[in-house]
């Protein structure tokens, strides 16, 4: 594996910071590292494998001699800059929603659909954080038993909306504890007309609303799941619906998932399949009060699955509870893992 | 309506305190008020309609001349003391789970099944907080379109586990903000072997686990829903499954509910039906970011419903989001409302 030149676009954000950390911990050999961000963040420094790097303002000319771009600077920035990176010969792994549903762009979770990397044309999309952890848990069951339906309710952490939303949650919590009114200027959606406190509250809005009453986040989960599990081809009967809710947790999304299989395996069968699945840690021992929690998932790369139960009145239908670090498997780690997989498959470097 | 003698059992708890407030605001004329609690709380004082009352230790002899008992001191206390109250001639409205599934005890939400009050034999059970708000929202749809299936994921507030759990959440939040480890000695379940922090976390355990992996809380939602909606008689096809999760919110349960109807009404039809339903406030205007939130539901008697959406791939199936004050409609107000309904029906006083 030869050393490669890597650029991180959005290097100062919550995800970008973790991309640097995950890259540092990976086996990827790096020759040149370029940290790119908005002009506002230019000049900041970051340490990587013992060397200090200065953040530069990203421009269309930033990608000369770059082999790999990890991008998490927002959809508009990706749309504007990644075509220049591709033209300069780089492979781009994009964590925004800009290219996810583009039929020419593979949408990849390495444990689930690594073969989709083979047909990339320069851009590979990282799925939405909520989609990734759901499919890491469901894909092994789909492969073995055939997945027919998903009904998901999410419990999503503030950091999914960025570092500023995370900070806002903590500020509001302190305001509340001090007996003061909570101030809100970011959540539920930055730039939306109305803002509400998240601390000690629940916000059933993630991303903007579509005209049909679903949020963009909910449609992302629906459409991305079908693309990744190849609904249109191998899996024509998969139906998906979602309700996405922001909860006052800094890091770690929870998901309550109801799913229907073609077959009717026992819970023991499901547990065995999940125990053997890559990227899954089973935490399902009710007698010992063992189940996934955000505070134990934070900082981990795996997706944690527990509370597996049959719906006794609907054979073949089940409930389970899934938690993962939305900044790692939901973003930075999945992106770096895609890069590692590209290298293993000789598709990069 | 003649004045009645009322005893409140568990008068110093989070629910008992609100029972006193809700009773104070009701039109029920009260002759004698007796505040009962554990010996530990005896001697405390509470104000009611301008008079100060001293809390007494509850004993089997406490119910002489009492017409109505509102009880919320835990299942064991209800089991021990309410038979004495019935023998003394009182009607008991019990907020614990002690008698809910007893076939001789009506389980009543006044908006949903007031006629079940007619066959009471001294004890009337208040349903579980999560069940009440779900059925206030679903029963009008069941009556009009026939309810076939419920898949519910709850987002339950700390106060559902009592005032001490609420205090623990706030203490933990301050510990976290101070950079200290969070201490836990109550949640998820008082007296359980393990305790976990709820602040900035999610706990997928409410009440103890059954051997089948479901929690007692989840089975309560399933069994109580069927009893209240008369599954065995009028509604043989109703299937219910539940996942119950505690969230770091002081007051106000959220519920993400997926439901299937016999018919296929439009969302406009559903909204009209819910707008006309007793005890429901529709908050469903995505364009103006209007949807139910715990912080706006707290202190209100109604159940708030929003985010109503069809599952486009399963005609007749829908998602919605329901929030209510778990201490009011979920407990104290539902109990006082039962008392008001008894008086209106000449079943009391």
Architecture (CATH level 2) of domain B131-326: 2-Layer Sandwich (3.30)
Could you tell me how far CA A10 lies from the centroid of its own chain? 16
Q: Helix, strand, coil: what percent of chain B each, to 5?
A: 35, 25, 40
Give the pLDDT score at B230.
83
Using the structure block, give the residue that is written with the tokens 């449609």: A219
Q: Do A173 and B173 touch (CB under 8 A)?
A: yes
Q: Does A288 touch chain B (CB under 8 A)?
A: yes
Give domain A4-127+331-344's CATH number out of 3.40.50.2000, 3.40.50.880, 3.40.50.720, 3.40.710.10: 3.40.50.720
Using the structure block, give the residue that is written with the tokens 């189940």: A291
Q: Is the pLDDT of residue B248 over 70?
A: yes
Q: A307 to chain B: nearest residue by CA?
A: B213
**Residues A5, A125: Cα–Cα separation, whole Å:** 19
Q: How confident is the model at residue A230 (pLDDT cuts 50, 70, 90)?
A: confident
Residues of chain A with CATH 3.40.50.720: 4-127+331-344
Give the pLDDT score at A349.
73
Tell me the mean pLDDT in the region B110-137: 98
Q: How confident is the model at residue B236 (pLDDT cuts 50, 70, 90)?
A: low
Long-range CB contact pairs, B105-110, < 8 A, 24+: B107/B224, B107/B227, B107/B228, B108/B228, B108/B338, B108/B341, B109/B135, B109/B136, B109/B139, B109/B228, B109/B334, B110/B279, B110/B334, B110/B337, B110/B338, B110/B340, B110/B341
**Residues A323, A334: Cα–Cα separation, whole Å:** 15
Q: Which residues contact B108 (CB under 8 A, 6 or more apart)?
A: B114, B116, B117, B124, B125, B126, B127, B228, B338, B341
Q: How confident is the model at residue A234 (pLDDT cuts 50, 70, 90)?
A: low
Q: B181 to chain A: nearest residue by CA?
A: A295
CB-nearest partner of A289 from B170, B194, B202:
B194
Q: Is the pLDDT of residue B129 over 70?
A: yes
Q: How confident is the model at residue B321 (pLDDT cuts 50, 70, 90)?
A: very high
**Residues B289, B285: Cα–Cα separation, whole Å:** 6
Give the pLDDT score at B51.
96
Residues of chain B with CATH 3.30.360.10: 131-326
**Least confident span in A186-195, A247-256, B218-227, B234-243:** B234-243
With b for 16 or more beta-carbon neighbours within 10 A and e for fewer, the A175-203 pattern comes to: bbeeeeebebebbbbeeeeebbbbbbbbb
Tell me the mean pLDDT in the region A287-294: 98
Interface with chain B: mutation pick from A256, A290, A314, highest number of B CBs within 10 Å? A256
Give the pLDDT score at B80.
98
Residues 186-245 of A with CB under 8 A from B: 188, 192-194, 196-197, 200-205, 209, 212-214, 239-241, 243, 245
Total residue length of chain A: 349
Q: Give how far B197 is from chain A: nearest CA, Å.
A: 9
Tell me if B160 is assigned to a ligand binding site: yes
All residues of chain B having their beta carbon less than 8 Å from the beta carbon of residue A247 are: 155, 202, 247-248
Show binding-site residues of A: 12-15, 40-41, 100, 156, 159-160, 246, 326
SS3 at position A285 = strand
Alpha helices in B241-349 (DSSP H): 267-275, 294-297, 333-344
Catalytic residues of B: 129, 253
Dihedral over Cα of A262, A264, A267, A271: its sign: negative
Look up residue B325 and give its two tokens.
Answer: 């004050």
Q: Do B313 and A239 touch (CB under 8 A)?
A: yes
How far is the first Cα of chain A from the last one, in angstroms, to the nearest whole number?
A: 7
Residues of chain A with CATH 3.30.360.10: 131-325
**Residues A63, A87: Cα–Cα separation, whole Å:** 9
**Residues B103, B114: Cα–Cα separation, whole Å:** 16
Contact criterion met (CB below 8 Å) for B199 and B180: no
Q: How confident is the model at residue B237 (pLDDT cuts 50, 70, 90)?
A: confident
Give the pLDDT score at B274.
98
Using the structure block, give the residue that is written with the tokens 């976390």: B201
Give the pLDDT score at A233.
53
**Residues A16, A36: Cα–Cα separation, whole Å:** 10
**Beta partners for residue B94, in sequence order:** B71, B125
**Residues B235, A159: Cα–Cα separation, whole Å:** 44
The average confidence (pLDDT) of chain A is 96
All residues of chain A having their beta carbon less than 8 Å from the beta carbon of residue B212 are: 309
CATH number of A131-325: 3.30.360.10
Contact criterion met (CB below 8 Å) for A324 and A303: yes
All residues of chain B having their beta carbon less than 8 Å from the beta carbon of residue A186 are: none
Q: Does B76 touch chain A (CB under 8 A)?
A: no
Q: Give how far B183 is from chain A: nearest CA, Å.
A: 13
Q: Is the pLDDT of residue B234 over 60?
A: no
Peptide bond into A188 cis (omega under 30): yes
**Residues B239, A312: Cα–Cα separation, whole Å:** 9
Q: What percent of chain B has pLDDT over 90?
A: 97
Q: Give how far B213 is from chain A: nearest CA, Å.
A: 6
Catalytic residues of A: 129, 253
Q: Does B278 touch chain A (CB under 8 A)?
A: no
Q: Does A318 touch chain B (CB under 8 A)?
A: no
All residues of chain B having their beta carbon less than 8 Å from the beta carbon of residue A289 are: 188, 192-194, 196, 205, 209
Stated as kind and residue range, the H or E segment containing A256 is strand A253-261
Look up residue B224 and give its two tokens.
Answer: 């109580």
All residues of chain A having their beta carbon less than 8 Å from the beta carbon of residue B287 are: 209
Using alpha carbons only, what angle is made at residue B145 by residues A219 and B254, rounded to the nearest 5 degrees? 50
Report in angstroms the alpha-carbon separations of A232 from A52, A224, A235, B261. 47, 12, 6, 28
Q: Does A30 touch chain B (CB under 8 A)?
A: no
Inter-helix orientation angle B216-228/B129-145, to 10°: 40
In the sheet that B303-310 helps form, which strands lie side by side, from edge to edge? B239-246, B147-156, B253-261, B317-324, B303-310, B280-282
Q: Give how far A313 is from chain B: nearest CA, Å.
A: 6
Look up residue A339 and give its two tokens.
Answer: 């890069």
**Within 13 A of A63's CA, how many CA atoms are on the CB side?**
24
Q: How confident is the model at residue A252 (pLDDT cuts 50, 70, 90)?
A: very high
Could you tell me how far CA B47 lies from the centroid of its own chain? 24
Burial class of residue A115 (count of CB atoms within 10 Å of its CB; 0-12, 13-18, 19+) = exposed
Contact criterion met (CB below 8 Å) for B331 and B74: no
Tell me the mean pLDDT in the region A189-205: 97
Look up residue A260 and give its two tokens.
Answer: 């229907």
């Amino acid at each position: 594996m030869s050393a490669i030149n890597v650029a991180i676009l959005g290097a100062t954000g919550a995800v970008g910071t973790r991309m640097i950390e995950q890259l540092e911990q990976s086996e990827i050999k790096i020759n040149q590292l370029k940290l790119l961000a908005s002009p506002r963040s230019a000049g900041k420094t970051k340490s990587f494998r013992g060397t200090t790097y200065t953040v530069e303002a990203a421009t269309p000319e930033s990608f000369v001699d770059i082999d790999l771009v990890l991008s998490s600077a927002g959809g508009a920035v990706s749309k504007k800059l990644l075509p220049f990176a591709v033209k300069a010969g780089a492979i781009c792994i994009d964590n925004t929603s800009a290219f996810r549903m583009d039929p020419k762009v593979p949408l990849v979770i390495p444990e689930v659909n690594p073969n989709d990397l083979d047909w990339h044309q320069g851009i590979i999309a990282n799925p939405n954080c909520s989609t990734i952890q759901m499919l890491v848990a469901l894909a092994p069951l789909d492969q073995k038993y055939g997945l027919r339906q998903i009904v998901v309710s999410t419990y999503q952490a503030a950091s999914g909306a960025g570092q500023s939303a995370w900070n806002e949650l903590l500020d509001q919590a302190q305001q509340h504890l001090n007996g003061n009114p909570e101030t809100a200027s970011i959540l539920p959606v930055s730039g939306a007309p109305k803002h509400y406190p998240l601390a000690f509250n629940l916000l059933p809005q993630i991303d903007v609303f579509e005209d049909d009453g679903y949020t963009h986040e909910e449609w992302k989960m629906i459409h991305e799941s079908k693309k990744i599990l190849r609904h249109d081809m191998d899996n024509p009967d998969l139906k998906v619906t979602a309700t996405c809710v922001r909860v006052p947790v800094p890091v770690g999304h929870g998901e309550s998932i109801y799913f229907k299989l073609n077959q009717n395996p026992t819970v023991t069968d499901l547990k065995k399949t999940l125990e053997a699945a890559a990227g899954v840690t089973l935490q399902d021992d009710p007698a010992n009060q063992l189940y996934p929690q955000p505070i134990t998932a934070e900082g981990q790369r795996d997706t944690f699955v527990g509370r597996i139960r049959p719906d006794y009145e609907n054979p073949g239908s089940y409930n389970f509870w899934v938690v993962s670090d939305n900044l790692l498997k939901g973003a930075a780690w999945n992106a770096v893992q895609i890069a590692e997989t590209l290298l293993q498959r000789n598709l990069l470097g």
